[in-house]
């Protein structure tokens, strides 16, 4: 029986190049996710209700994480203001007796004025994401287009 074998020259170079492309794409994606999260948090600070400024100061961007080859970035408020941030974002709270109390923007919040078509107050983080939605889709597509 005849034996056949062949040798592909340059396969190591091709594999090295593919690996380099993968690392470059991952780095570009991480940079893009961080840039986008920073932009969203900037807009969220402009839209956050204002009292003492603690909520604005607590809006942060975390590092890019990878889980099962899936990349993501956390951003929003820091944990020490969780309860307050949720109440302010949703625009209402429940008392211990179960009564719903709706929040209205105070004088300081109203004095901030609109930002990119949205008024500061409730849904400040959700609205900041909406402001940047088309930018997010465009920038991620560019980062993945190597």
Please give the chain's pLDDT, 146 residues, in tens: 678 776 777 888 889 999 999 999 999 999 999 999 999 999 999 999 998 878 999 999 999 999 998 999 999 999 989 889 999 999 999 999 999 999 899 999 999 999 999 999 999 999 999 999 999 999 999 998 85
DSSP-assigned states of every residue in the chain = --------TTHHHHHHHHHHHHHHHHHHHHHHHHHHHHHHHHHHHHHS--SSSHHHHTEEEEEEEEETTEEEEEEEE-GGGHHHHHHHHHTEEE-TTS-EEE----HHHHHT--BTTB-SSTTHHHHHHHHHHHHHHHHHHHHH--
Contacts of 89 (CB under 8 A, 6+ apart): 122, 123, 124, 125, 126
State pTM to two decimals: 0.85
Domain spans of the chain, in order of start: 16-144
Tell me the torsion sign for CA atoms 105, 107, 108, 114: positive
């Amino acid at each position: 029986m005849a034996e056949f074998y062949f040798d592909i020259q340059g396969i190591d170079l091709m594999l090295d190049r593919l690996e380099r492309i993968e690392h470059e794409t991952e780095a570009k994606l991480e940079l893009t996710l961080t840039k986008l999260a920073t932009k969203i948090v900037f807009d969220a600070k402009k839209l956050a209700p204002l009292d003492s400024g603690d909520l604005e100061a607590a809006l942060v961007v975390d590092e890019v994480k990878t889980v099962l080859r899936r990349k993501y970035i956390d951003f929003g408020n820091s944990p020490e203001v969780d309860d307050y941030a949720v109440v302010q974002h949703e625009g209402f709270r429940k008392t211990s007796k179960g009564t719903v109390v709706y929040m209205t923007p105070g004088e300081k919040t109203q004095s901030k004025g609109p930002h990119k078509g949205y008024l500061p107050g409730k849904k400040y983080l959700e609205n900041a994401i909406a402001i940047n939605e088309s930018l997010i889709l465009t920038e991620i597509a560019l980062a993945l287009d190597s």
